[in-house]
Structure 1
């Protein structure tokens, strides 16, 4: 067993790798500030929380609209626990990641924060997160069996839980009922083969309509990876430290994904439509894969179309998996009042709080019992409830977002005819190996767990 100093050295080494990588995008002077802050943290600031805050105050960082709307819930919590003050700081998503890393380096992290679930592995690797298993074991509010299993597992690193799901999203198929009816289609596709057949029939009935839309922009990487998930393919190997897109199941899945473009079912130029929802509402697109936020957007922008579209779980192959997305609540290891921080997380995790948060933001609750308060009865939301029972997380590594963008970059080149899939895969594996070089080094030094 390691002593505390050994654990801190490992965290500091991993942290310095993350910070050095992130600093490549910053000015040299900013990089020096990062590293200086990290050295100070290694000297002892990691072990203590800033002492200025009163004992019964709690700092909470949240991102985007969630950071604004969660303030509505604060008065009820403060009334329940007199003498408590929750200080909420709302941070734009575009600045959140760097701000959190800077706060870690400077020993200025909040007590509790919202983290996108693809960020958890990175902050766990640098020792920033408090394991929550003991708190969960003694909780009367939070139990694993009340959550969608795939969503709960996104918070597990090794044999420990480091976050509690706050809200979830996943991708399902949106489709135009009226366009299906015109093509003589009575039900949505449930398999890959039915999906291609549906596309053919829509094109025959409406030559000017694209049957489906798959995004190619780099930040929208989910669609091709859904095909990989549904064919039991793999993306990475050797402890998630090397590219593995030459796996036969992965190659088969990507070939099927590319057929939609090759047969003209999906547009290859992302500039063809200025606005995806407008294209869907104008019948230029019959199907699209997207998330729950667009249910509210479609209803708000195009209320007259309410009866002409709906949602369904994704068509599948060997399974019908979708990607597990959303955000979790974490306690940072520098928090000085674990009890109060946990009470705040428990409060936000109560079904009534989750339902209220859904009403404020449209974010889907991660707890199944919260859906029984009125969400599941919405016919447009039923598909999300069903799909959330069949979701999987992407590889839990700090470099995941870089890996995902690189995959999308190479697949776009194939879609546009710049190279074949057979040419792209070895190039892609090579690029992923380069991205994951530091991870391999950390694994060999025993500084990361596989």
Structure 2
């Protein structure tokens, strides 16, 4: 299941400051691909299942189904998250890449800026059923505002608060927290005897930035101004980041060892009862793989700063998920578009998202009863009403890496017993902002 890995910011910066339309070959006169290889496609899929081999087992029958329907053979390669962005960036500069590929939706605007991806204008969207088929929040995370999407949503995700029912009952807590103050108070009741209130993935910069973004929205900042200029060290941004670091540094409801977690270890801690709460994207399938039964935990919306918020601060999740993109220089443009139509069809959306535990990105499939379990209901409601896409700016990937790494270092300080103050947080965020490349 998706938990975005550390992004290759330096490589992306090099691409964005160089030629931005390097992938414009193909046979057509407007720089787009043609149809010189109408019977084959190459597809780079991201690792969504328990292993690369598991993904092959899930996807191969569906690709065979597509071949039977269209006569087009799809060559599948499942690419691990640790390699995916660098592989994509190499393809944008060399022109030698797949026809169709998965991208993390937070990369959409950054990869859009390379000029290598097929724009999903109204004509292309019409070929796959039209814009209105897709969940609006998911489509909003498919490219920069005011531009045609650089990809279309495939798998949708949102954050939820997972809580251990038995541990809550033992601590005398009747309902899950709805505000952060309540979460901290509950977390303190749940901390002790080798157990902690909250599991964190502090060694993962991308996981850190997801929470900083949500807390930032709740404090009134996007980390960028309207022109796309970074504002990492604004008072609101400092307050948001410090609030997250304080779960370990001040509130002490997260284990110091969580500062080093970077490979879904927080999920394991929650599943094995070492922590009573977990903030995660569609954790059900991962918890099952660790032996935790659905009856053992509940899922609630991520807390807000105050009860019943409204307006722009009513955000408690990033719009998470996987998008499906087409390289402009594909030699089977018609087949690639047809493949996107197939993968985003109602039937395939139900099959694939049902298998992976994610949510369909098309409205009609998401409303299917197969996605009506309590976990999916909470996540779907969040995606529909209180989720926002990460900043859709070309330098978003660098933002993830620089601020996420600054938070990793601050959590390491907290774990070592060093004081984390408003001043030290501001210093770390100012340094991150100074390292951002010029737009």
SS in structure 1 of the partner of residue 374 of structure 2: coil
**Deviation at residue 89 of structure 1 after TM alignment:** 2.9
Q: Could you tell me how far apart the structure 1 residues matched to 2:315 and 2:333 are?
A: 39
Give runs of aligned pairs for residues 327-342 of structure 1, distance below 5 A.
327-342=322-337
Q: Could you tell me how far apart the structure 1 residues matched to 2:352 and 2:161 are?
A: 24
User: Does 1:96 find its partner at 2:97?
Assistant: no
Structure 2: gaps of 5 or more residues: 1-9, 50-54
SS in structure 1 of the partner of residue 347 of structure 2: helix
Q: 1:86 aligns with which of 56, 74, 78?
A: 74
**Deviation at residue 333 of structure 1 after TM alignment:** 1.6
**Deviation at residue 386 of structure 1 after TM alignment:** 1.7
Partner of 1:57: 40
Partner of 1:27: none
Q: TM-score normalised to the size of structure 1?
A: 0.79
Distance 1:395 1:375, change over 3 A: same
**Deviation at residue 348 of structure 1 after TM alignment:** 0.7
Contact 1:414 1:420 in 2 (8 A): no
Contact 2:230 2:433 in 1 (8 A): yes
SS in structure 1 of the partner of residue 359 of structure 2: coil
Of structures 1 and 2, the one with the larger relative CO (CA 8 A, separation 6+) is 2
Q: Could you tell me how far apart the structure 2 residues matched to 1:41 and 1:253 are?
A: 38
Deviations 1:300-319 (A, max 9, x none): 3325x442212111011242
Contact 1:48 1:336 in 2 (8 A): no
Distance 1:323 1:53, change over 3 A: same
Partner of 2:239: 252
Partner of 2:300: 312
**Deviation at residue 181 of structure 1 after TM alignment:** 1.3
SS in structure 2 of the partner of residue 132 of structure 1: coil
Partner of 1:279: 269
User: Does 1:381 find its partner at 2:376?
Assistant: yes
Aligned-residue RMSD, C-alpha: 3.3
Deviations 1:137-184 (A, max 9, x none): 53463433x433221101132322221101122221110111111222
Partner of 1:296: 285
Distance 1:285 1:97, change over 3 A: same
SS in structure 2 of the partner of residue 242 of structure 1: coil
Contact 2:23 2:115 in 1 (8 A): no
Distance 1:51 1:407, change over 3 A: closer
User: Does 1:210 find its partner at 2:200?
Assistant: no
Contact 2:199 2:269 in 1 (8 A): no
Distance 1:374 1:428, change over 3 A: same
**Deviation at residue 289 of structure 1 after TM alignment:** 0.7
Deviations 1:287-329 (A, max 9, x none): 011121x3112223325x4422121110112424201122111
Give runs of aligned pairs for residues 35-46 of structure 1, distance below 5 A.
none
Q: Could you tell me how far apart the structure 2 residues matched to 1:320 and 1:189 are?
A: 16
Distance 1:283 1:241, change over 3 A: same
Contact 2:109 2:396 in 1 (8 A): no
Contact 2:213 2:222 in 1 (8 A): no
User: Does 1:396 find its partner at 2:383?
Assistant: no
Q: Could you tell me how far apart the structure 1 residues matched to 2:137 and 2:366 are?
A: 16
Partner of 1:429: 430
Q: TM-score normalised to the size of structure 2?
A: 0.81
171-180 or 50-59, larger mean C-alpha shift: 50-59
Structure 1: gaps of 5 or more residues: 1-16, 24-34, 440-450
Contact 2:44 2:100 in 1 (8 A): yes
Deviations 1:343-387 (A, max 9, x none): 211111112101111244333322232133333332232221222
Distance 1:373 1:409, change over 3 A: same
Q: Could you tell me how far apart the structure 2 residues matched to 1:338 and 1:138 are?
A: 15
- Give the paired residue count: 403
Partner of 2:218: 230
Contact 2:247 2:253 in 1 (8 A): yes
User: Does 1:108 find its partner at 2:96?
Assistant: yes
Contact 2:171 2:189 in 1 (8 A): yes
SS in structure 2 of the partner of residue 237 of structure 1: coil
Contact 1:324 1:393 in 2 (8 A): yes
Q: Could you tell me how far apart the structure 2 residues matched to 1:279 and 1:315 are?
A: 21
Partner of 2:407: 411
User: Does 1:194 find its partner at 2:182?
Assistant: yes
Q: Could you tell me how far apart the structure 1 residues matched to 2:156 and 2:422 are?
A: 33
Contact 2:22 2:116 in 1 (8 A): no
SS in structure 2 of the partner of residue 409 of structure 1: helix
Distance 1:135 1:384, change over 3 A: same
Q: Could you tell me how far apart the structure 2 residues matched to 1:306 and 1:140 are?
A: 36
Q: Could you tell me how far apart the structure 2 residues matched to 1:391 and 1:95 are?
A: 28
